[in-house]
Amino acid sequence: MLNSLSQFNAMTYITIIAAVFVFGASIGSFLNVCIYRIPKGESIVFPGSFCPVCKSSIPFYLNIPIISFIILFGKCKNCHTSISVRYPLVEFITAIFAVATFIKFGLTIESIFWFAFISVLIVISVIDIDLQIIPDILSISGIFIFALAPLIVPQITIIDTMLGILMGGGSLYLVAVVYYLIRKDEGMGGGDIKLLAMIGAATGWKGVVFTIFVSSLLGTVAGVIIMLATQKADSKLRIPFGPYLAGGALIYIFHGEFLISLYFNFI
């Protein structure tokens, strides 16, 4: 990675980083479209961007990621309805991950692969937070698409991917079955099962084990905080688990190998 970056001088590198940020923000704008339309079963291509309240189309010069939100003071130009801050937030987060992916993997096809994977995780996470569903069009399609990892990611083999899919889907399915047998209630949604299978397709079996551990930790901490904040110590409090699975996968992509080696060195 250092060798690939050494060819750029400081100014060129900063320019590339800026370009990657702008590209990521633009993709984030598209992800907002996916987040809004996919659960509704609408086309993500046609029609063009429009205000969800007054349905007026948004011209390209008012559809600039992040900047348009600031210029318009967070309101639709036509009906003056407030625009959710989530839109520029998704654009900004996507841009940050685009830059982070470039810094870690460079200008490579592997970088494109991981950024595509992260983009899907962002869409899934926001939809799950909003509606507590994970559309099959994302997770099942993702399993097949990201199963191409052995062709792109050097450290992932076909066996890793196959085991990742089986362990990812199988482990959460087993948890769901056991929970239902004990509590007679659905504790783990089918969307989460398919999402972890997709994560396994991209990251392999090591990524699945890491993701399960980290997401469980994140989910537990978040659940305790939410219960304390809402004063609802309800064991049936429903918390979307997709974002925590996505968070575990993201940590694995950027720091997984280091954290795993640190853990084994510690014990």
234 has a pLDDT exceeding 60 = no
Specify the higher pLDDT residue, 107 or 178: 107
Q: Looking at the domain assignment, is residue 117 inside a domain?
A: no
% of the chain at pLDDT higher than 70: 90
Identify whether residues 181 and 62 lie together within a single domain.
Answer: no
244 has a pLDDT exceeding 90 = yes
Q: What is the mean pLDDT of residues 221-249?
A: 79
Give 83: exposed, middle or buried? Use CB within 10 Å, 0-12, 13-18, 19+: middle
% of the chain at pLDDT higher than 90: 61
CA distance 121 to 266: 31
Token reading at 182: 């004990």
Q: Looking at the domain assignment, is residue 121 inside a domain?
A: no
Contact residues for 254 (Cβ-Cβ < 8 A; gap 6+): 100, 104
Token reading at 179: 């929970």
Q: Looking at the domain assignment, is residue 12 inside a domain?
A: yes
Q: Give the residue numbers spanning the domain of 75.
A: 1-107
**């060819």: which residue's tokens?**
7
Number of domains in the chain: 2
Identify whether residues 85 and 139 lie together within a single domain.
Answer: no
Q: Looking at the domain assignment, is residue 140 inside a domain?
A: yes
Q: Looking at the domain assignment, is residue 118 inside a domain?
A: no
Identify whether residues 163 and 261 lie together within a single domain.
Answer: yes
Q: Looking at the domain assignment, is residue 240 inside a domain?
A: yes
Identify whether residues 98 and 152 lie together within a single domain.
Answer: no
Residue 195's pLDDT band (cuts 50, 70, 90): very high
Q: Considering only CA atoms, which of 113, 131, 77 is closest in space to residue 242?
A: 131
5 has a pLDDT exceeding 80 = no
Q: Looking at the domain assignment, is residue 96 inside a domain?
A: yes
Contact residues for 257 (Cβ-Cβ < 8 A; gap 6+): none
Predicted pLDDT of residue 176: 67
Candidate from 30-34, 86-90, 180-184, 244-248 with smallest mean pLDDT: 180-184
CA distance 245 to 222: 13
Number of H helices, E strands in the chain: 10, 0
